[in-house]
Chains A and B, each alone.
Chain A
Amino acid sequence: MGSWIHLVFWLLFAAGLWAARGRTVFWPLLALGLLLLFNELFTPGFFALEVRGGHLYGTRIDILNEGAKIMLLGLGLTLVIATGGVDLSVGATMAIAGAVAAQALVAAHLSPGLAILAALVAAALAGAWNGLLVAVLRIPPIVATLILMVAGRGIAQLITGGQIITFADPVLGYLGNGWFLGLPFTLTVVLLAFGLTALLTRRTALGLFIEAIGESETASRYTGLPARTVKFFVYVFSGVCAGVAGLIAAGNIHSADANHAGLYLELDAIIAAVVGGTSLAGGRFYLAGALVGALLMQTLTTTLYALNVSADVATVPKALVILAACLLQSPQFRARLTRRKSPGAA
């Protein structure tokens, strides 16, 4: 039965690639496919899949579960990057959300629902702070969000009093560790967030607004777009996405670790968005591409663990794969490659 599922997996992947041909998401999907193929050939046990404790158990399931944080951050960042901005503070916002939720449960004895709400409100406030600096005070996004990237972790530390706050709450635990239909519950969260974001941006004019503002803010304002408001709320959205990711991170280990939660994860998420086809110059975004890019990043990390590559040097192969994925995404590079292969074609 195992080999059956294995075959179906590859057929589905191939079908996905075929369906995506000619679209931007094809390239990160191809990179992911090549990385999985590498694992098929060289990593023993990578494709093992079994049912344990009533749910699926295997490396690919781990990738979906651990990758959920990068996927969520990637969704928020994709929209921010589409407006020509960037949000470096999402890792710190994750730490704040986790800290607020843990302290709401442990110190304030709130119900899990209220704790989650408090964490999301805190994350939205963090996003609103960024939005205020960028959209209203016109501070360059890389500087504006750097402020919270640095200060946010301090705020999270203040909330936890410098300690790791451990909690036993089953609801928050379910968010990070639970199983739904045999798959990690985090996957459901990601798909819901993706569905909502896609609906809001692609079924309404909002996506066009965001892209227009990213292309030229002045021109879009002259055409009557509420450029500032849109920008502001894009940062709030990114903050909320980071808040959900922070809740997942805390739930996953049943504790809020303000020092380390989401540390450097903003970089993985930015790479995920860029590998997914979203241009750092703004003006274009691909939500599905960001999800595939995030899966690529997580697959890469997990592959290096599975191959037992020493952490001292693991960053080098990681960087090489990311470089290859970025090159695959670059139309200029692809054009050059095909030109060289067929010199006769004019």
Chain B
Amino acid sequence: MKLSPSPACRSALALGLALAHPALALTVGFSQVGAESGWRTANTSSIKAEAAKRQVTLRFSDAQQKQENQIKALRSFVAQGVDVIAFSPVVETGWEPVLREIKQAGIPVVLTDRAVAVSDPGLFATFIGSDFVEEGRRAGRWLAQKTGGKAVIAELVGTPGSAPAIDRKKGFEEILGAHPEMKIVLSQSGDFTRAKGKEVMEAFLKSPQGRQVTALFAHNDDMALGAIQAIEEAGLKPGQDIIIVSIDGVRDAFVAMAAGKLNCSVECNPLIGPQLFDLAAAVAAGQPVPHRVPVAEGVYDQSQAAAALPNRQY
């Protein structure tokens, strides 16, 4: 670890940065998956902004969705002798050799957002990311509370086979297990998109079960936003006739909540910069950290939406 050479500079920094950031002038290498979505863009800017704020030297590399690019970036971080390496792996497998090289170089690794499959969990220090199952549970709990444990539910599932779709469904159904009067009567994939969410909801509303539906659970905000339009076009009031809960907490969802059309959005927070650099500082200083760190995430309903809206960054 390199410390700032000038004592004057160091004291000035110490004034600005409290004891929480002992590792001044930390150098962190971060390899991002790419820039495939608004969520990812917000993730990247949070990390860059926090690095600038803490005066951490950030070596940022964009893998453009390719594992080979990411492995190259990790090796170059080793060659540069950074203090901590963080990355969001493009795929789950194939990381053993490069992680061993990094371990031999004595550099701690922090995984963000996505996990890796390795035989030895000691190959990385910690993993910080959203817990999709917990997000599903939170949506379920909120709905159970709102409806008093009584609901006829339509579900808009994410892309079949994707981790968030599987885990969010699992968490939600776990909660339903404790509420016998909450039942999912319709469940279809809306592919995480607004257009499909709308198209599927249109079909739902015309089916005999769909006419009984009192609540909607969408695996992400975009599908809920599409479904809201379908519900409006059917002459119903979204948020009143049908209670809607979804996951992600994107800006447009807050707009819909403030307008009373969406009831609740469970946050899936990409703004991990502060937590990431707390962890990086801790592992660089050799302090013990939990092997799995959940991202700080909230559950927002209509009463908080208008106040929170101006601060939404994604």
Contacts and interface: CB of A to CB of B under 8 A. Distances in A.
Interface in B186-212: 186-189, 191-196, 198-200, 202-204, 206-209, 211
Interface in A102-151: none
Contact of B207 (A301, A306, A310, A312): A306
Contact of B160 (A44, A255, A260, A312): A312
B120 interface: no
Interface in A253-267: 253-255, 257, 259-261
A87 interface: no
A66 interface: yes
Residue of B160, B198, B199 with most partner-chain A CB within 10 A = B199
Contacts of B41: 161-163
B121 interface: no
Contacts of A52: 234-235
Contacts of A57: 234-235
A48 B200 CA distance: 17
A86 B41 CA distance: 35
A254 B229 contact: yes
B206 A311 contact: no
Contacts of B188: 305, 308, 310-311
A305 B36 contact: no
Contacts of A177: 229, 233
B306 interface: no
The contact size tier of chain A is 20 to 34
Interface string A243-279: 0000001001111010111000000000000000000
Interface string A203-225: 00000000000000000000000
Contact of A253 (B187, B198, B200, B255): B198
A302 B188 CA distance: 12
Interface string A306-345: 1010111000000000000000000000000000000000
A253 B186 CA distance: 22
B36 A259 contact: yes
Interface in B207-221: 207-209, 211
A312 B188 CA distance: 9
7 contacts: A57-B234, A62-B202, A164-B222, A257-B195, A260-B191, A305-B200, A306-B203
